[in-house]
Structure 1
């Protein structure tokens, strides 16, 4: 008889809407069991536990780390809590999957990556679109050279958020807590895919931001252009004030072919000028979130490669940081590599 399947005992920290989606999807993954949950709002934590059959419930994160029985952490908390909570988890020797972004800023991200390396503890970032079937096929086509040398990428994220988005989570309104608005919170998903596909670091940036539609500190509209070390121009437009939410598009223009991605009505990629058989993302599942969670579980349990280790999320953090600084001060040239290229 074969041995029983290894299961990742996962503690959920932050019992809000995003964690609810992850908890539902985790039920489709045999290798994951929700072992504990934690939220500063006791009623919300208790309701989350009842809904998802969780026995261990905490309202204090330090108490969870000290007394909880679990293997790894899933963090779905405000951005300003990412860094301190991850560092505490690393001190406790607990692997972490954190919702994007890795941190509010590049310096915070660097500190996390450096400590994870010193401690030998795994930290992953849920940039789940790397596991999206269309984004994955696009990225692998770029990485294989099937499109020739890529000279430009254009990203459009025409999303819509209503006042309830800010009312339900007021931390989204402030720079101190969120680190940024639509570019960091929504657009970075797809900017991450582009930079991962290119495997090139950004070296200069031009950026513009505005905040139409809401009385908030963060931007609700962002436009920017990055130039990578290899000379590729990456153009991104991200908004949360589209009159009607529309499909995200990523257009990749190479010397011998073009790739065009749409996320709606379902993830798809079309190749023009090149005959390419789309590669499928690792693992199984109907949704990118399912494949991302399952991939993290395999990484922790079996040491199978995970597509988004924390170090690989540093380039997008550097890019967003540069675009924000450019929006404030003008063009930004990154005079030196802001992090160890080998780790990225």
Structure 2
């Protein structure tokens, strides 16, 4: 076990003026015994304005200066994904506890390097798969652990969103750049892969593909429609360690925003999550019924930033508790690296036109 953090108030720095400012900061402020001591962004003028607006005492435009300042004990990283690896390594070298946004890295090699460094530095590490704390997903986990569906036979994830359907709607540059870990597979698929692993265990085989349905888009800060190479659609199949199958189909160019549906069926029952956090299910021989109470605290936060802030605050609370007790946080960098293995495997499967073995039975992964 690590040495527990004994400081009465843990000082956290946030790196990122976008999602970091809009979600990380308010979520951190919901957690007792935590103060947001600093915020860091690429543009000095803008980050000073953000700090003033959010009443954060210090601002930095260079994360290395923040880490050397002695102003923080821990850091959350909400930069574009291609910066996660260097920022996380620098934080570990500075002895700071780290919570990194998803996708954890651009490749499994980077993710494993981050995990190795965090372990060697003895810091508390976590990945921001906060959707584990969405009420419906959390309740589904409880029901699975109670044996509601018995032995898993099959699970499917279907997501149809219209967020990227309009090519003239300006999009963040990294999201459309494959080299920056942009694309629907990494940005959205990573959450579903983490959920599937959390619910059903390790994934041993993967086959899939990605596509770019809209090859030109308006990019924030640039003029006209520009070529993009990151995927906006993906579909893949997984086989879990117990032999059960799972399928994931994500489209962010749907003409109509239909939402998500997750169906898990097993030897004894079925569980269904539908859009806006609704959960249904039935045991063998029973009728489908609503499995969430009429009122779940926080369940009204079912969309937009409020949904993420609520879930992220619970995740941060567990990360802080792990710091104070010396325990391991969850989801950890180890979980993030396992998710990255699956992300990389989808791309390799498309390149090689075959299943990718992640079991480690034939060769280390």
TM-score, normalised via structure 1 length: 0.87
**Structure 1 residue 64 displacement after superposition:** 0.8
For 1:1-344, list aligned pairs within 5 A: 6-162=8-164, 167-178=170-181, 180-200=182-202, 202-215=203-216, 216-264=228-276, 267-273=277-283, 287-303=310-326, 306-334=329-357, 337=360
1:216-275, CA deviations, whole angstroms, 9 ceiling, x for partnerless residues? 1111000110112221111001122122323322111111011111241xx232221169
**Structure 1 residue 308 displacement after superposition:** 0.9
Quick check: 2:24–2:76 contact (8 Å CA) kept in 1?
no
Work out the CA distance in 2 between the residues paired with 1:140 and 1:319: 24
Work out the CA distance in 2 between the residues paired with 1:226 and 1:102: 20
Partner SS for 1:223: strand
Quick check: 1:141–1:278 contact (8 Å CA) kept in 2?
no
Moved more, 324-333 or 253-262: 324-333
Q: Report the CA distance shift for 1:19/1:99 in structure 2 as closer, same or farther (over 3 A).
A: farther
Q: Report the CA distance shift for 1:176/1:112 in structure 2 as closer, same or farther (over 3 A).
A: same
Moved more, 187-196 or 21-30: 21-30
1:22-50, CA deviations, whole angstroms, 9 ceiling, x for partnerless residues? 21233333332110011111122112101
Quick check: 2:17–2:41 contact (8 Å CA) kept in 1?
yes
1:176-208, CA deviations, whole angstroms, 9 ceiling, x for partnerless residues? 112x410110122122111111122x2222212
Work out the CA distance in 2 between the residues paired with 1:47 and 1:117: 36
Q: Report the CA distance shift for 1:127/1:327 in structure 2 as closer, same or farther (over 3 A).
A: same
Work out the CA distance in 2 between the residues paired with 1:168 and 1:243: 17
Work out the CA distance in 1 between the residues paired with 2:350 and 2:56: 45
RMSD over aligned Cα atoms: 2.9
Work out the CA distance in 1 between the residues paired with 2:191 and 2:158: 11
Quick check: 1:139–1:194 contact (8 Å CA) kept in 2?
no
TM-score, normalised via structure 2 length: 0.82
**Structure 1 residue 320 displacement after superposition:** 1.5
Q: Report the CA distance shift for 1:335/1:317 in structure 2 as closer, same or farther (over 3 A).
A: closer
Partner SS for 1:161: coil
Quick check: 2:14–2:20 contact (8 Å CA) kept in 1?
no
Work out the CA distance in 2 between the residues paired with 1:277 and 1:296: 31
Work out the CA distance in 2 between the residues paired with 1:330 and 1:309: 31
**Structure 1 residue 277 displacement after superposition:** 11
Quick check: 1:6–1:301 contact (8 Å CA) kept in 2?
no
Work out the CA distance in 1 between the residues paired with 2:314 and 2:274: 19
Quick check: 2:155–2:247 contact (8 Å CA) kept in 1?
yes
| Unpaired segments ≥5 residues, structure 2 | 1-5, 217-227, 300-309
| Unpaired segments ≥5 residues, structure 1 | none
**Structure 1 residue 66 displacement after superposition:** 0.8
Quick check: 2:178–2:231 contact (8 Å CA) kept in 1?
no
Quick check: 1:222–1:238 contact (8 Å CA) kept in 2?
yes
